[in-house]
Each structure stands twice: as structure tokens, then as C-alpha cells.
Structure 1
Amino acid sequence: MTNRRNFIKSLGLTSAAVIAAPAELLHAAPIINTEKQDLTNITLKGRVHHSGTGISNVAVTDGVNVTLTDKNGNYSLLSNKTAEFVYISVPAGYAFPHEKGITQFYKKVDHNGASFNADFRLEKLETDDRSHKFVVWADPQIISKKDAEILVTQAAPDLCDLVKAHPAGTLFHAIGCGDLVWDHFELISDFKNAVDISGIPFFNLIGNHDMDLDARTDDYSAKTFKANFGPTYYSYNRGNIHYVALDDVFFIGTVKKYIGYLTENQLQWLEQDLAQVKHGSTVVVSLHIPTFTGGQRRNKLAEEEIGGTVSNREQLYKILAPYKVHIMSGHTHMNENWERDNMMEHVHGTVCGAWWTGPICTDGTPEGYAVYEVKGDDITWYYKATRKPKEYQLKIYEKGRLKTSPNAVVANVWNWDSKWKVQWFEDGVLKGDMEQKVDFDPWSLELYEGPQMPKKHKFVEPTLTDHLFFATPSAGAKTIKVVAIDRFGSSYSDQISL
């Protein structure tokens, strides 16, 4: 099962592979900013208001420093002409401004002159936003018009249907968790079309496949992303929750080479941003590359794959220590949840599954997305498989399907975490808890194992996962039922006949 690990490494530092990079980039001269940085002062000023009435204490930033609006909604921030945007942290109680679903919380700075004026007009919500929902779309990662068609005709309508199934006025937003496209920027319009179809505002993150690969350094690798989606790190508020988006994909100046890393600029900005947030509050932090995964443990590696997690994550954790934190990430094309102290990280299964090669991710998680439901300070969640009902939360495999455990029935409970309970019944009789083990999902082996599978992208390989559960039925057993109860008490089940 080394092919996929080698592929993932090639996206970091250990290989020269350039899989899926547009051919014209392989020999292109790097983009070099020929203009010297202009450190001339520029004053950013303006007003944040609702129908002419100023909104006080709104955080405004140039990506370096943060200021607050005064009692009349006015702000003034001394910056310099390296600033690309001035943007706000949309306050609770207000709608997210957007254009066809792409959030518009920023203004591009015009450097002509000693000052730049940017006003932000917000609309008050008619409902209490302490109750709201959001979804996380990880890795749509479209590389062709065929992929884009599936995104637009299947994934986007599925999200649209989910929203419509809720009462009118239910507050929804989405987090596009990076790798919105797969290096082919001509497909950004298709991603935007999918967002528009979904019918809800999207806050988007940059992923390693959303970078300008012909940039000379990381400083210029987000040029195209910024032109389409604005700043790569920012915050916003809804109800009692403070949301933060970060850019943890650090391009090292060679095509397809990057590390998981947070710059000092971002960490200093984050400290200022969180200074406005009461300790003990719930903070949701979204970034593309997971801060941490169990990959090193599962694969018995001597060290972490440097492009697979955030190298300086402990510095982030220190900043987040005073809060109750949920971290949202993608990148791995598998589903995983882990907890530590005040934090829980949700590493999401992907919209594209295994790069649009089959209906499941490499760990057996169905292609899809996560749905989060917020009430006050508390968040609950579930995984929503595309074109499947909410109740579809596990799959049972019959004896013999997994060759390493030929006598066992195997259940994949893809959104499992340590507070779930997974039990099995034989012919209607409760037999107890199933045994959790690290192994490969049987269907993933059938779809993706081997150098010639799958035909579309041969680098895809099954990945080891923690969310498999095992039981050995009696010789004469006729039916096996598995019941999985999540940390919130919701019960899901599946049954097979032997």
C-alpha cells in the first residue's frame, strides 16, 4: 500500500513528482514581482453600517493589524501599500454579504493616494443566529470538465436539497475547505457555479491545488485565489461562535512542493483577532492541511509526512488554549476525528471521494461532506454522504470480504470518534461491543488497490483507518445487525444476511 503514500509525499518535499500539474507550468519561468515593495504609509478608513446606522466594535484588518469601529461605525487603520485588502470580521446578528454564494467581506486596496476609503454595508438578520448550521466541503478538487459536471449536477444539488429540507429561514453557510480545483484555474468558474446552485454563502480556503505553481515564493502563490475569493486568512462571527479561516499551505517555490505551516504574520494576526473573543468561547478554526492526523501511527512511520500536517501546530494550539475549539480540515481524502484537551479536529472525507474515481474515499468513507448544527455554544454534527440519507452512517461487509480477517464481519463507521459505541446483534441477540482495529476498508481495496487501479488515477491506494469494527459470527448465524450510537445519542444501524 505504498503507492499512495509515495504520491502524498510527492506533494510535499520528498519527491519530484508533478502529477496533475498543467504541462505548461513544468517549464515555465517563475512569476517574479519586479516592483519593489512600497512601504509608503496609507490610511485605510471607512464605515461599517446597517442602512446608514453605524455598527460599533466590528473588527477591521489589513491582514497585519486589527482595529475596531467606533460607536458610529467608523474605523481608521494606518497601513502601508503592501496591504492587498481591507476586510471585516462580520459580526454576529448580520447576514453574510455574498455574490452568488461567494462571501464578500473584503475590499481590494487601491494604492493610488495616501488613503483608501472602504465602507461595508451589512444587513441585519431576521432570525436569532445563535441557532444555525454550517457544512464543510473538503476537496472538490476538479481537474476536468467531466469532474466539474459531477460537482455541479450531483454534489451541489445534494447540498441544495439538504438546505431545502430544513424550515424556511434556517441559517446555513458553508466552508470550502481547500483544493477547490486541481491546479486548473479555468475550472474555478465551475466551482463557483456549484456554490451558486447550493444556495448558501461559502467561505473558502486555499489548498495546495489552489496555488499558483509558477510563483517564485509562497508570498505570490495565492495570486489567483485572492483574485477570486479574497484574503487567505480572516474571521467572522455567527451567534456565539467565532470562526477563523487560516492558510496553512506553504509553497516552497518548486512545482507541487509545499509544507503544512502557519506563517508568523498569520499567528500574530490571530492573536489580535482572538483578543476580541471572550475566553471560554467556542472557536471554529478552518484550514486545508490537518494540524494533526493518526497517519504516522497507523502506517508505523518514523516521522510525519511533512506535507500532511502542520509542522508548527503547537504554536497554534497555544494561541487557542483559552477557547473551546473545533478544527476543520481536509486534504487527506479520508475521515478522521481526534481530541486533545480543549480541541477536537475534524479531518473530513471529501466531496470528490478518491479524486472522482469511485463512490468512496480511500478509507471507505462515502464521498460527501459534514453537517454541523449550532445551538448557543454547543455544536453537534454528522457526515452526509452525497445522494444518501442522513441515516447512512455505516456499512457492513460480510465474512471473507476482508482477507486479513476472513472469519469476521466488518463494519465501517466512518464518522466514529472515541465517544461512539458500536455493538452487534446475531439473529436479534445482542452480542456486545465490536472490536475496533486498524485495517483497510474492503471495498476500498477492491476499487483502488494495485498499480493499475483505478484506471482514472493510478496513484490512488486504500488507506489504513481507525474506524473499522470486527465481530466473528457463529457458524449457523443468519443475520448480523450493527448499531452505532454517536456521542450525541443518535443511533444508526445496518444489517446483512449471511
Structure 2
Amino acid sequence: MSRSFLTGIVLGGLLLGSLSGTIQAESKTEQTATGYVFQDTNQNRKRDPGEQGLACVRVSNGREVVCTDQSGKYELPVTDDTILFVIKPQGWRTPLSKNLTPEFYYIHKPAGSPQSKYPGVKPTGPLPASVDFPLYPQKEPEQFRAIFFGDPQPRDQKEIDYIAHDIIEELVGTDASFGVTLGDILFDDLSLFESQARGIALLGIPWYNVIGNHDINYDAPNDKLSDETFERAFGPAYYSFDYGQVHFIVLDDIEWIVPEENKKTKKEKKGHYQGGLGKEQIEFVKNDLQQIPADQLVVLMMHIPLVGVEDRQDLYRLIEKRPFCMSISGHTHHHEHRFITKEDGWRGPKPHHHIINVTVSGSWWSGSPDERGIPHTMMADGAPNGYSIISFDGTEYDLDFRAAGRAASYQMNILAPEEVTADQTSEIEIFANIFNGSERSKVEMQVGESGSWTVMEKIDDIDPSFNKLSETENAVEGKKYRNLPKAKKSTHLWRTKLPAGLKPGTHLIRIRTVEMDGDKHQSGRVIRVLPAKPAEKTASTSGTEK
């Protein structure tokens, strides 16, 4: 997958960056790109006379990171496959496309992308004499919120419509400052990038994109060329930006592997992907972080979870000494808070917090449809499909789990029988799936108004509710919906037993939780307790034998 970075806007086959000056002669050897970062006061995306250059703004070619001088000028080396991009500073915004995707890059591919099933970048021509980046001032409070989508992964337009009705409609009018899709924007059909982006643009906020394993060109002969269509649609596959007091880094952790022996034959090349970053991207992260203060929160955004990245140790060495750093991914279609420790080679003074985000598509748009015709698509860990909203406040952050089509208060599923007999209560297990729970959550149960609160036991097991649901739905013959996946162990499941001595009647079970960030949630479930069954009379064994 391409580890190069460029900047600009693709429109009608032309890159509409704020380019000025005469065109330099094209060269196949390394060249030096020069340009300015400037305040675009008349908003025409061109650096006009009198428009002020901006000093100390970072610009990168996907490897080196330089700061503009007092006049706003920078210089960077480029090859014939480079993406130059500005690292958006705090208090400024970049231009936005008609679909509100940030346009902070200029793509330099003089010959364009190689031919593939899904087209990449058209030839960009010779390197311009000046590659300029316009910026616009904006207010960025220290406290803000961002939306995170994991794996929307629509196969076709019908499933893009599912996303619109299940997620987008309820988010219109959001007060979030921006949003991010954490990869698998699509499910292999890269012709749908535009349609998917149009739907998300209805939210009216800037939207960043992370590349996933279903967003690459599978006919690419190597990793470097596997991002070409993504680059045409969204620009570089890895980059960074500031918002408020937080520094965000988007990573491309999809490595496309084509075996060498297949390259020597005319047979169809069968490649595969793995989690990986590559030396060039690691070098970019190193150079980027060198200019970020230690007391600034750094958020790494990727697709494959960090513990599944082959060269993650190289990344660990760059972030493990930073006191404020977290990461977030998608890919596995479950929701989890993972704390990376020395068992995985982490050398930091405290565990690294990595979030595997709930997915928009849940279990790949599977399961029986609801009254809207949209599959319920519950994830295999027993949590519903949905998204996250993270609130940032300086170096602090707080993740809120949001289930699609549900109230914000829907944070758990309680599994209990409808009825039990009074003599059975102490044998009956109650389960609570706390969707955003973690090993640092405290979960308790109370039965009735006067019952005592009992601490529930965290278990790593499959959710019995999802297991029953998947077995029941998948057994239906002639169904027109996709099978649910096999249940997987949940990392946010708790268990306890009902107290003994419950009197016959209708009782309310209450479950309350305090999550790692202090958020409190409570929910309830009604259960009926029936009178104990009378003991069965045993037959008399007395009598006269004959």
C-alpha cells in the first residue's frame, strides 16, 4: 500500500490545489518541492498578493516533517510518487471537498496510477513551481467531541442506505467537531467511495478516513500500489492533524502481500493482507512526534487493532514514554477496551489503552431485518451495532458507546429468565452485557427496592443471549437474510446469581455500572417469582407380599 503522501483536490481529473507560479520541468529523479502555507483570506484557494504566509506550520512528504519559515515557506524532497500534505495546526482548518472530506494534500504522480479494476489518480503532470496550502482560522475549544465509526462496510448501495437510516439520520445536527471512519469504509467495491461520502456529509462536519483491508486494490502487484483508489478519493493513507489540544495520527496498518513466486508467472496473483506499518510510515510517526510536546494528548487511529500489527514494537518505542497517548481501531467487529502491557512487549510505565471500536455494520449487516427492513446485525460479543462519541478535554478523554437506533441510555443487556420458582432463585444465573465495559468497570446487581447491591463477577465467555439468538435465526429455513456469525467471547460480560429467599411476586432486577472513566449507567429487568412447587409424594412401599 502506498506510503506516499500528496495534497490537493481531484475534480474532473484535475488536481485543484492552491498552486501558483510556472511549471517546472518533469523529472524522474528526486526533486525538491517548494511552496507556502498561507491564510486564504478571499477563500479562492490560491495564494494571492498580500495573503500572509503562516510560520511554524508542519508540512510532510510522508516521511520528513518540516516547519514553514517566517514567510510560510517550506521545502521537501519528492519522487514521482509522493503526496505532500500540511499537518493542520490548532485553530485552523483546511479546505473541504463537497463531501466535507478535508483537502490538505497535493498528489504528485506525473504518470498517474497504474491501470486497475478501480481507477486511481490521473496523471498530475510536472511538479508545480509552488505547491501551496491554504488555511482558514476557526475556533477550537479545549473541550470538544468527535464521532468514530468502525467498519461501515457496505457491499452495495442498499447497504449504504442501511447506514443512512440506521446511523446518519439520528446524528444529523450533531455538535461533534469532526468524525472519523476507522477503516473498511466499503466492502471491496471501491466504486462506492463517493456515494458513501455523500451520505456522511449530511452530518455537516469534516470527516476523516482511515484505510481498511476492504478499501485497497486487490489487483495491486505490491503494497505500495494498493492504496491508489483510496488516494484518489481521500488523499494520503496516513497523516496527522491537530484539533484543540489533541494531536491525531491516522495510520495505514494494512500491508498487501503478493508472494514473489506469483510475480514470475502469468497466473492470477493471489495476495493477502497483514497488519503492518512499514519503515517509511514509522519514520513519519517518529518525525511527527518529535515536534509534539510530551504533555499533549496523542490519539492514534488505525484499522487493524494495534496488537495485530507485525511491526508494532517499533511504534511502541515511539509512544510508550509519552504520558498521554491512546489508540483506537476497528476490524474485529466487536467492542473492547484493551490494555497493552509488558506481556506484549510494551515498556511504558503504565499500560497503553487501546479501543477496538463498535462497528456501524455490526456483524456485516446480518441477522433478521427489523420493521425498517434493516438487519439487526448484533455483534458476536452480544453488543449492538453502533458508533462511539469521544469527548476530549485537554489530556483527558471519555468514550460514550451509542447503539444504532436506540436511546443514549441503552448501555447494557440483562439476561434473566421470565420466571423462576421461589426454591430455585439461588441457582439462577443473571448475566449483564455492559457494552462499553472493561476490566476496570465495577458492576453490581440489586433485586427489589430494599435488596443489597451485590458485586457481579466479570467473565470472559460467550454471551448466552447472542448464542441463543444466532442459533435460532440461523436455523430458519428459506430465510432471505445472512446468517449471524458464531458467538465469540465477550470482554464486557458479568455474572451473578439471584439471592436466596425471594418471595413470590414480581421483582425488578437493577444493574448499575461505573466505567473506567467514571460514567455511570443503570438499567433494569423484571422477573416473576412463582411459589415453590409442592414436594411430590412418594408411593407407599408397605404391603403384604404374596
Q: Does 1:356 align with 2:365?
A: yes
Question: In structure 2, what residue type is equivalent to 1:106?
Answer: Y
Equivalence for 1:461: 486
**Which residue of the partner structure matches residue 74 of structure 1?**
73
Query: Could you report, residue by residue, the CA deviation over 1:424-446 in whole angstroms, capped at 9, with x for unpaired residues?
Result: 10112223211111111233213
Query: Is the partner of 1:219 in helix, strand or coil?
Result: coil
Q: Spell out, residue by residue over 1:295-352, the C-alpha distance to the aligned partner (whole angstroms, 9 max, x if none).
A: xxxxxxxxxxxxxx11221211111123221111000000000224252101011001
SS of residue matched to 1:120? strand
Please name the residue that 1:327 is paired with: 327
User: TM-score when scaled to structure 1?
Assistant: 0.82
Q: State whether structure 2 residue 447 is matched by structure 1 residue 426.
A: yes
Structure 2 counterpart of 1:481: 510
| Residue 396 of structure 1: aligned partner | 414
Residue identity in the other structure for 2:461: D
Please give the secondary structure, in 2, of the residue aligned with 1:54.
coil
- How many angstroms does 1:211 deviate by? 0.9
Equivalent residue runs for 1:277-292 within 5 Å: 277-292=292-307
Determine whether 1:134 maps to 2:146. Answer: yes
Using a 3 Å threshold, how does the CA distance of structure 1 residues 363 and 256 change in structure 2: closer, same or farther? Answer: farther
Q: How many pairs were matched up? A: 434
Taking a change above 3 Å as real, the CA distance of residues 471 and 336 of structure 1, as seen in their structure-2 partners, is same
Q: What does residue 12 of structure 2 align with? A: none
**Aligned partners of 1:41 and 1:114 also within 8 Å:** no
Using the alignment, how far apart are the partners of 2:448 and 2:332 within structure 1?
38
CA deviation map 1:109-165 (0-9, x unaligned): 26444654221111111x34322111110100000222111112221122224x1xx
Partner residue, 2:237: 232
Partner of 2:438: 417
Tell me if 1:252 matches 2:253: no
Query: Is 1:41 equivalent to 2:39 in the alignment?
Result: no
Alignment-derived partner of residue 32 in structure 1:
none
Correspondence 1:275 to 2:290 = yes
Please tell me the residue identity of whatever aligns with 2:444.
Q
- Aligned AA for 2:293? K
d(CA) in 2 for partners of 1:445 and 1:96?
47
Q: State the match for 1:471 in structure 2.
A: 496
Q: Distance in 1 between matches of 2:224 and 2:103?
A: 23
116 and 151 in structure 1: CA distance in 2 versus 1, 3 angstrom threshold = farther
Shift of residue 275 of structure 1? 1.0
Task: Report the CA distance between 1:448 and its aligned residue.
Answer: 2.8
Q: Does residue 336 of structure 1 match 2:336?
A: yes
- The aligned amino acid for 2:395 is D
Superposed CA deviations along residues 352-403 of structure 1, whole A, max 9, x for unmatched, are: 11111134211111111111111122111211111222221111111399xx
The alignment partner of 1:63 has SS state of: coil
- Partner of 1:278, secondary structure, is coil
Residue identity opposite 1:92 in structure 2: Q
For residue 467 of structure 2, the aligned residue among 445, 453, 474 is 445
Which of 355, 364, 385 is the equivalent residue of 1:346?
Answer: 355
Aligned counterpart for 1:264 among listed residues 267, 275, 279: 279
Change (3 A) 1:446 1:194: farther
Residue 523 (structure 2) aligns with = 494
SS in 1 for 2:452: strand
User: In terms of mean alpha carbon deviation, does 392-401 or 325-334 score higher?
Assistant: 392-401
Local SS of the residue matching 2:318: helix
2: CA distance between counterparts of 1:176 and 1:406?
Answer: 45
- AA of the residue aligned to 1:430: S
| 1:118 match: secondary structure | strand
Mapping 1:196-215, distance limit 5 Å: 196-215=201-220
Match of 2:266 in 1: none
Q: Distance in 2 between matches of 1:497 and 1:452?
A: 29
Q: Which deviates more, 328-337 or 215-224?
A: 215-224
**1:187 Cα shift?**
2.0
Partner of 2:537: none
Superposition CA RMSD, Å: 2.3
CA contact 1:246–1:286 (8 Å) conserved in 2: yes
Report if aligned partners of 1:152, 1:193 keep a CA contact under 8 Å in 2.
no
Question: CA, structure 1 residues 103+114, in 2 after alignment: closer, same or farther (shift >3 Å)?
Answer: closer
| Mapped contact 1:152–1:190 kept (Cα < 8 A) | no
For the residue of structure 1 that corresponds to 2:91, the secondary structure is coil
Query: Offset at 1:205?
Result: 0.8
2:85 match: 87
CA distance in 1 between counterparts of 2:38 and 2:326 reads: 30
Q: Deviations over 1:180-223 (max 9, x none)?
A: 00001222222112221122111101101001111111111111
C-alpha contact 2:63 2:280 (8 A) present in aligned 1: yes
Partner of 2:56: 57
Structure with the greater relative contact order (CA < 8 A, sep ≥ 6): 1 or 2? 1
3-state DSSP class of the match of 2:136?
coil
Residue 117 (structure 1) aligned with residue 146 (structure 2):
no
What is the identity, as a one-letter code, of the residue corresponding to 2:233?
Answer: N
Secondary structure of 1:218's counterpart equals coil
| TM-score (norm: length of structure 2) | 0.75
SS class of match (1:412): strand
Contact 1:135–1:173 (Cα < 8 Å) also in 2: yes
User: Contact between 2:81 and 2:109, CA under 8 Å: does it hold in 1?
Assistant: no
Is residue 396–residue 411 contact of structure 1 (8 Å, CA) maintained in 2? yes
Does the Cα contact within 8 Å between 1:325 and 1:342 map onto a contact in 2?
Answer: no
Give the letter aligned to residue 510 of structure 2: K
Measure, in 1, the Cα distance between the counterparts of 2:179 and 2:94.
Answer: 11
Larger Rg: 2
Choose which of 182, 185, 188 in structure 2 pairs with 1:180. Answer: 185
Unpaired runs of 5+ residues, structure 2, are 1-26, 42-50, 111-124, 259-268, 341-349, 367-375, 420-425, 528-546
2:404 alignment partner, one of 374, 386, 394: 386
Deviation, 1:179, is 0.3
Counterpart secondary structure, 1:495: strand
Q: Which amino acid aligns with 2:196?
A: F
Q: Does the aligned pair in 1 maintain the 2:94–2:134 contact within 8 Å?
A: no
CA distance in 2, matches of 1:216, 1:74: 37
Residue 447 of structure 1: how far off its partner (Å): 3.5
Letter in 2 for 1:470: R
Q: 1:213 to 1:449 in 2, by over 3 A?
A: farther
CA 1:474–1:104: 2 relative to 1, 3 Å:
same
In the alignment, the residues of structure 2 paired with residue 197 and residue 206 of structure 1 have an alpha-carbon distance, to the nearest angstrom, of 21
Q: Does 1:374 align with 2:392?
A: yes
Percent of aligned pairs sharing the same letter = 26
CA–CA distance in structure 1, aligned partners of residues 53 and 327 of structure 2: 33
Greater than 3 Å deviation, 4+ residue runs = 110-116, 449-459
